[in-house]
Amino acid sequence: MQPIRRLSRDETVPFQAVIGGERFGPFENPSAASAFEEIVGRRKDLSIAPVSDLYEGSIGGDAYYAVDTLALEFGMHPFREVHDIGYAHDNGEVMLDFARGSRFLPRDAIVLVEGVTRHEPRRDLDRPERLPDWVSLGEEHLETRVTAPHPAGGQLLVVQTNRRDCPPYLIVWRRDARMRMHLRVVSGHSSLDYASMRLEEAMERFTPSTLELEARKSRRPRDYQREKVYSLERSFGREHAQPYRWFKSIEECIELVHRMYEEFDLGPPPAIYLGRSNQSISYHKRGYGLSFSPHDLSAWTVLHEAAHHVAAGISKEPGHGPTFVSTLMGMLAASEGVDLDMMVRLAQEAEVDFDPDVVERWRERIEARAATGPSL
């Protein structure tokens, strides 16, 4: 439901109210417009002002009220007293606090001011920044943990941006949690808190089209055992007697990867990058290399992403397919001394698919290296 605003001279809406020669709207029906005229028109102590003036401090007063358009429709008293005004705006919109909950209003939405006074503005309400239509997760757009299922299907997600030409936080829609590319932008926000508060509102404002909801055919097979593999890796850590190593620098990570590739004849090692301070996850990207979060430089993470690179070079399976699982088990055994038989047993118990031939090749390589040279 749209907030009420002062209408421009040439603007037309289905239902409007006229007070003091000025037009206001839009209203859902003529009875709501008439109720607004009657209630506000008889209150001579009230002035009508845009919420931007309230935020910028150019008006003051004894009390402030927002107009509840839904209450107008049902013939109820439409005033909601404003208890506080958010000091930080949300990309051109103002947050008002009420006795129960908060609400964001666009800059031209009206508020009613009791005993109005005029002042010099103290703050500027910037105009809304332009939003991209689509974004993809990566270096410029980082996934947060703030998500909500959309009632029509798919998921709303808050994304942090590193671009200067759009707001720092975006609410985006994606068809499922695996999608990282071409995510539909719904709205832009000034802070993570504001974006989180506005997820429910975004559900009402945005409905994905039928075309967007239909699953597009993917050239890649579905990563059918991703969560099972993550759970399996945690069980490796619980069974292994020693904790995995943690590295102090990206150089130590690079050294481990290069030694693994050289000693076990795995081919050219991938390019390795240290992500920015706000990168929360590490990942392998085909044709790009390995990117590590500075907050998780563990041997397990390094070997996990390196196993993705090795598996991608020899198989077209899903990301966490049998070749990846077997390669990771071999790397953990070679580098961290994790018992290979124990990992095979846990994988069988968890019904995680792996390639026994790849496991045996790793066993042979580990035994051969142990006989001829120092282990990792």
Query: What is the per-residue pLDDT across 49-92, written as a single tens digit (0 to 9) for each?
Result: 999 998 888 998 999 999 888 887 777 778 889 988 876 778 88
> What was the pLDDT predicted at 1?
63
Q: Which residues of 3-39 are buried (b: 16+ CB within 10 A; e: fewer)?
A: bbbbbeeeeeeeebbeeeeebbbbbbeeebbebbbeb
Hey, which residues does 6 pair with through a beta bridge?
A: 24
Residue ranges for the chain with pLDDT beneath 70: 1, 87, 127-128, 211, 214-221, 241, 373-376
Quote the pLDDT of residue 128: 67
Q: What is the DSSP string of 150-201?
A: -TTSSEEEEEEE--TTS-SEEEEEESSTT--SSEEEEEEESSHHHHHHTHHH
What pLDDT was estimated at residue 100?
A: 82
**CA neighbor of 330 nearest in space, from 265, 251, 242:** 265
pLDDT of residue 241: 67
CA distance 376 to 369: 10
The predicted-structure confidence for 89-129, as pLDDT tens digits, reads as follows 788 888 888 888 888 888 899 999 999 999 988 777 776 67
Q: What is the pLDDT of residue 375?
A: 47
Q: Cα(330)–Cα(327) distance, rounded to whole angstroms?
A: 5
Residue 220: per-residue pLDDT: 59
Q: What is the pLDDT of residues 281-299, one digit of tens each?
A: 899 988 889 999 998 899 9
The domain spans of the chain are: 5-118, 134-213, 226-372
How do 5-6 and 22-25 pair as beta strands?
antiparallel
Q: How far apart are the first and last CA of the chain?
A: 64
Total-model pTM: 0.46
27 to 72, 128, 206: CA distances (angstroms)? 9, 24, 21
